[in-house]
Amino acid sequence: MMLNRFSRFPLPALMVAGLLTAVSCGTTYELPDTGGAYSDEAARLFAEARQSPPPKTLSRSAAEARFARVEPRVMRAGRETCLRLKTGVNCNVDIAIDREMDERNAYFTYKNGQPIIRISLPLIQDTGSDDEVAFVLAHEYGHLIGRHVEKQQQQVLAGALIGGALAGIVGDSGDAVGIGMGVGASAGGIVYSQSYELESDTLGTRIAYDAGYDPVEGAKFFARSEAARGSGGGYSIWGTHPPDRRRVATVLATKAQIDGQVGLRNAN
């Protein structure tokens, strides 16, 4: 009788269950509670930023100077945070301006095994303060500490395998399995993206603060309307990011933890 029950689930289905369990990890660190007063204050700051005129676009030389002021302090604070948390990753990040990128963007990735953070000059030109550049760079440093690249790669791989296994359940066509793997890879790559962004905001708030900047002022960069972010267009960096208001609330809640001397907590 038991054998008959299990015979209804072919091997690929058991593989799917195992893979889903294997990639069900979320953030490394606990995200702060953003409800109540933090949500209300975020809504107020959000509305205020939306009503404010856009900052004056910086000249290229002024943007270069802003980056030169901010980068060493964020790099030091990020490295110290990374080492203190004993993440096991290479904490020595190469932070620089991507001079070939015309769009307003910033990103973290690995190049030949070396962690790098890149920010475009047009994005810096649209910032209203050193605090805003510091928060963007600190947020990207948070992706390293949260090991988000590695986790995303695992999820993409598992998503591809899950998609292929599911296609195999409904038919043995090689084309069906291939299509299933493609769909699974796409789904696997985005399943935790917003959680990772909020974790990076949490870590970035602490890094920016330790670097001597105001993370709440820095987060206002995300609250301004698209029109107030400059005349050059939108930001592709925001494509997978959570709603801006929730990001501001996350920064406010994390700053309150800092003021209350509450450290990072590992996620359960």
- Only one residue has tokens 């359960």, namely 268
pLDDT of residue 197: 87
pLDDT of residue 222: 80
pLDDT of residue 25: 53
E strand segments, 54-105: 94-98
Please tell me the distance from the alpha carbon of residue 103 to that of residue 121, in angstroms, as a whole number: 9
pTM (global) more than 0.85: no
Please tell me the distance from the alpha carbon of residue 253 to that of residue 40, in angstroms, as a whole number: 11
Average confidence (pLDDT) per 10 residues, the chain, 268 residues = 37 46 65 92 86 88 98 98 93 96 88 93 94 96 89 66 51 45 37 75 97 95 59 39 76 96 89
Bridge-based pairing state of the strands 106-111 and 114-120: antiparallel
3-state secondary structure 192-239: CHHHHHHHHHHHHHHHHHHCCCCHHHHHHHHHCCCHHHCCCCCCHHHC
Nearest partner of 74 among 108, 40, 104, 50, judged by Cα: 108
pLDDT of residue 10: 45
Bridge-based pairing state of the strands 114-120 and 94-98: parallel
pLDDT of residue 224: 72
Bridge-based pairing state of the strands 106-111 and 94-98: unpaired
Judge contact between 242 and 134, C-beta under 8 A. no
Please tell me the distance from the alpha carbon of residue 156 to that of residue 162, in angstroms, as a whole number: 10
pLDDT of residue 217: 94
